Amino acid sequence: MSHSPEVGAERPRRELRRRRLVMVAVLATLLAACGVVYFFPPTDYSFYPRCFFHDLTGLHCPGCGGTRCAFALLHGDLAQAAAYNILVLIYLPYLSLTGLNACWHAVFDRPMYSRKMPAWTIRATAVLMVLFWILRNLPYAPFTLLAPHKL
């Protein structure tokens, strides 16, 4: 961030340029990643980054099964996606909406909506993450459904 005084109108324009650049970069990466995941099933190819937490401890982290979940989603298999990682599925609408809002902000120079989520939902997110991390590693009957599994 520049500390030198500038003409006021220059700053928002620079901010907008930055937003557009970030949007294009993120969308391109996302599209490329979706293409790779769509055509190369993560269950058959080993070039995907593996979870080092799982490699080290043998336990599942909150994101484990995420790539397989994305593959199932891209092929329209919702049940299988939920079986691999239900948290990704739960947060997908929120993440998509936030991403859409960011794109809107970049294109039209103002956000689509600026309503903040109530504070308790975000505290719940933190609790949910940690709970999910613990519960999906428990070897008991209902919790084993949270660990990534093939239907």
Partner 1 sequence: MPDDRYSDDNPPRRDDEYDRGRRDDDYDRGGRYDDDRDFRRGGEDIPNYLAQAVLVTLCCCLPFGVVAIVNASKVNTHIQAGDYRAAREASDEAKKWAMIGFVCGLIIQPLALALNIMANSR
Q: Which stretch binds partner 1 (CB under 8 A): 36-44, 75-83, 120-128, 135-143?
A: 120-128
Quote the CA–CA distance of 123 and 118 in Å, as a whole number: 9
A 10 A CB-CB count for 143 gives 13
Quote the CA–CA distance of 61 and 132 in Å, as a whole number: 8
Nearer to partner 1, 80 or 128 (CB): 128
Nearer to partner 1, 98 or 144 (CB): 98
Counting contacts by CB under 8 A, is residue 117 touching partner 1?
yes
Counting contacts by CB under 8 A, is residue 93 touching partner 1?
no
Query: Is 68 within 8 Å of 84 (Cβ atoms)?
Result: yes
Q: What share of the chain is helix, strand, coil (3-state, %, to 5)?
A: 65, 0, 35
- Name the site residues for partner 1 (rule: CB under 8 A): 1-8, 11-12, 14-15, 46-47, 49-55, 61-64, 66, 87-88, 91, 94-95, 98-99, 114-119, 122-123, 125-126, 129-130
